[in-house]
Amino acid sequence: MENMPYRSGLDTAVSTVSTGEVVGSDWRRGLPLLRGALVTLRELRSSDAASLCALLTTEEVARFVSPPPTTVDGFERFIGWTLRQRVAGTYACYAITLRGFDTAIGIIQVRELEAGFGTAEWGFVIGSAFWGTGVFQESAELVLDFVFDTLGVHRLEARAAVLNGRGNGALLKVGAVQECQLRKSFHKNGEYLDQALYSILSTDRRRPRQFVAAPSSSIH
């Protein structure tokens, strides 16, 4: 989700939404915890703002995503916005934490593209210190189960800049299928970049996957 739906300049509200742990599938009341061997995914909290600001605003991390908030206060506002969108039933955003620790090291977000989540889009960003550790792979698999089993998504889309070799490779690794190239569709740092459009269908999750290598010309 390189074109992030949140816009800090348009958000002035302060969140009073509860972030207590929820057990069950009523995700609008609060996101259920998702646990793996390496990670625990949970609802974002305002206290996550400092770690997210430190990890997600570096040049290498922010290179191919919409500009993230630049301050701790900005991330607090973003977190409040995610909670309100979850209550509205149009968006879910998970904090990625390492199992046994509670510091947010990244996020995975999902938003509906049509009412009722028939089609949705997802995106992810993780601190560079955790690239190549298996954290993304496990986090993505947990979220994909949530997306298809709890949200009931039929088609899940993602966009990645063609030059973002790491992002493209990550999507291919979890079974996403590249459908086409979107020419000059992403504006970043004063220029328009080509993006690849990927999809995962609910039926794809019920059949064996084959790994497809990312294009050798990709970088990042």
Predicted pLDDT of residue 77: 96
Going from the C-alpha of 190 to that of each of 69, 119, 186, 193, 218, the distances in angstroms are 18, 30, 10, 10, 21
The predicted-structure confidence for 127-158, as pLDDT tens digits, reads as follows 999 999 999 999 999 999 999 999 999 999 99
Predicted pLDDT of residue 158: 96
DSSP state of 28: T
Alpha-carbon torsion (121, 33, 78, 169), positive or negative: negative
Predicted pLDDT of residue 214: 46
Predicted pLDDT of residue 219: 35
Name the pLDDT band for 12 (thresholds 50, 70, 90).
very low
**What is the CATH T-level fold of the domain 31-206, as seen in this structure?**
Aminopeptidase (3.40.630)
What is the rounded average pLDDT of the residues 161-171? 93
List the one residue out of 190, 175, 184, 113 whose CA is nearest residue 141: 175
Name the pLDDT band for 206 (thresholds 50, 70, 90).
confident
What is the rounded average pLDDT of the residues 208-212? 52
What pTM did the predictor assign?
0.84
Q: Quick one: tokens of 99?
A: 């199992």
Predicted pLDDT of residue 143: 97
Predicted pLDDT of residue 215: 46
Which alpha helices (H) appear in 146-198, and where do they start and end? 165-173
What is the rounded average pLDDT of the residues 21-41? 84
Least confident of 48-52, 63-67, 147-151, 211-215: 211-215
Q: State the Cα–Cα distance between residues 30 and 10, nearest whole angstrom.
A: 24
Name the pLDDT band for 14 (thresholds 50, 70, 90).
very low
Predicted pLDDT of residue 58: 94
What is the rounded average pLDDT of the residues 85-92? 96
Q: State the Cα–Cα distance between residues 57 and 37, nearest whole angstrom.
A: 27
- Residue with tokens 């004063």, as numbered in its chain: 190
Q: State the Cα–Cα distance between residues 70 and 8, nearest whole angstrom.
A: 10
